[in-house]
């Protein structure tokens, strides 16, 4: 398979359907040639060990010591960092010879502050909740958690949910916002999936008309990108908690209005063309999602406004590993969930919305759900 990829005239990363198919085949091949005992210990039991080793290498600045891409011995890395000359980071750095190592694309990526904060977020913030999950479910008769105040995360963190922990320890929120900003900068934009630019001409062109409200949009990366692509007029409004909005003056310079907003209050912006939620609803169980959606619906203009939900849409069968991992992670962290197409139809339909179309790209799970007020 390596020779097939390396011998191809087309960069495998430019052909997403083919890349995903090859990944599936590689995973199937690995399972086929791995003994059950090997799989249990190497891929299940020892997975936390690798994550811990990479975290140690990051915080110990061992990855930074290799950033010039020149091979270095363990003793040279130790001399540069003050650490003992033992180094474990399976699959992240490359063994160049006896106790000699060099950087890889993965280790270099982890030196990016946003991605480094992603590792910190998942290890330090999410880890305790995930470790607690089996015990939590056993103690609660294996019922799906429905209340963020009593869910597995709060159970692991002394009664605090994620948002309360961020308030008590703001540095955790800073790490999360750093990661989310970087992640959003390097993932597919909604306009790569949904034909927004071609639909701008359908927008109300009267003075002060609102084109797009990005609800829970963090520091505005989505709106910054859209501001450069759109055709026509219309206000762009970014909504999030005050701590997440970042530099409001910089946003103004790019034609974006920043507005502090709580998802669980009535939507103050009336009659916008699009209300956009990216990776918001998967944070919450259905009951909370209905409250968020009803708050948004109260501001939508019938036969004009649309709700765009940019989320994963899982297939009913053969869910990819990434989708399954996301699903269990959201349950452990926020009592949330990733959802199938049927579950999205049921959820949105329960509050009076009708899905007009689910837009997907390259056969993957990332999608934009286009919904309107039903009836």
| Catalytic residue positions, numbered | 282
Tell me how far the alpha carbon of residue 98 is from its chain's centroid: 38
- The DSSP string of 246-281 is --HHHHHHTTEEEEE--TTS---S-S-SEEEEES-G
- Phi, psi torsion values for 275, nearest 5 degrees: -110, 120
The structure tokens listed for 223 are: 């709106």
Instruction: Locate 31 and state its tokens.
Output: 């399972």
Asked whether 62 and 83 are in contact (CB, 8 A), the reply is yes
Q: What is the phi/psi pair of residue 262, to 5°?
A: -105, 125
| Cβ 93 vs Cβ 63: under 8 Å | yes
Secondary structure tally for the chain: helices H, strands E: 19, 11
Question: CB count, 10 Å around CB of 299?
Answer: 17
Is the sign of the CA dihedral 198, 15, 189, 368 positive or negative? Answer: positive
| Residue 194: half-sphere exposure toward Cβ, Cα within 13 Å | 26
Give dist(CA 361, CA 191) in Å, integer: 11
Which pairing describes strands 100-102 and 94-97: parallel, antiparallel, or unpaired? antiparallel
Beta carbons within 8 Å of 115's beta carbon, 6+ residues apart? 109, 179, 182
If phi over 0 gives left and psi between -120 and 50 gives alpha, with beta otherwise, what is residue 270?
beta
B/e letters for 249-281, b = 16+ CB within 10 Å, e = fewer, are: eebeeeebbbbebebeeebebeebbbbbbbbbb
């Amino acid at each position: 398979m390596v020779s097939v990829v390396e011998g191809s005239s087309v960069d495998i990363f430019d052909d997403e359907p083919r890349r995903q198919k090859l990944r599936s085949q590689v995973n199937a091949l690995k399972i086929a040639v791995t003994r059950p005992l090997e799989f249990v210990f190497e891929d299940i039991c020892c997975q936390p060990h690798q994550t811990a080793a990479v975290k140690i290498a990051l915080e110990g600045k061992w990855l930074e010591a290799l950033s010039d891409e020149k091979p270095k011995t363990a003793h040279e890395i130790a001399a540069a960092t003050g650490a003992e000359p033992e180094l474990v980071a399976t699959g992240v750095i490359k063994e160049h010879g006896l106790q000699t190592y060099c950087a890889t694309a993965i280790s270099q990526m982890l030196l990016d502050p946003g991605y480094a904060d992603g590792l910190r977020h998942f290890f330090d913030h999410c880890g305790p909740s995930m470790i607690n999950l089996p015990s939590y479910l056993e103690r609660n008769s294996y019922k799906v958690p429905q209340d963020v105040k009593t869910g597995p995360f709060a159970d692991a963190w002394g009664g605090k949910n994620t948002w309360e922990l961020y308030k008590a320890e703001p540095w955790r929120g800073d790490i999360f916002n750093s990661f989310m900003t970087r992640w959003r900068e390097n993932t597919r934009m909604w306009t790569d999936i949904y034909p927004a630019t071609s639909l701008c001409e359908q927008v109300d062109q009267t003075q002060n008309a609102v084109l797009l409200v990005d609800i829970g949009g963090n520091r505005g990366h989505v709106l910054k990108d859209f501001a450069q692509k759109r055709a026509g007029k219309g206000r762009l409004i970014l909504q999030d908690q005050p701590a997440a909005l970042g530099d409001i003056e910089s946003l103004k310079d790019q034609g974006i209005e920043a507005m502090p907003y709580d998802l669980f209050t009535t939507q103050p912006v009336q009659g916008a063309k699009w209300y956009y939620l990216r990776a918001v609803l998967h944070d919450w169980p259905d009951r909370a999602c209905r409250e968020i959606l009803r708050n948004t619906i109260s501001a939508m203009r019938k036969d004009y406004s649309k709700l765009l939900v940019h989320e994963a849409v899982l297939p009913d069968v053969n869910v990819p590993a990434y989708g399954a991992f996301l699903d269990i992670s959201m349950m452990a962290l926020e009592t949330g969930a990733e959802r199938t197409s049927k579950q999205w139809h049921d959820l949105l339909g329960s509050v009076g919305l009708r899905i007009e179309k689910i837009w997907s790209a390259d056969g993957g799970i990332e999608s934009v759900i286009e919904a309107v007020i039903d009836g």
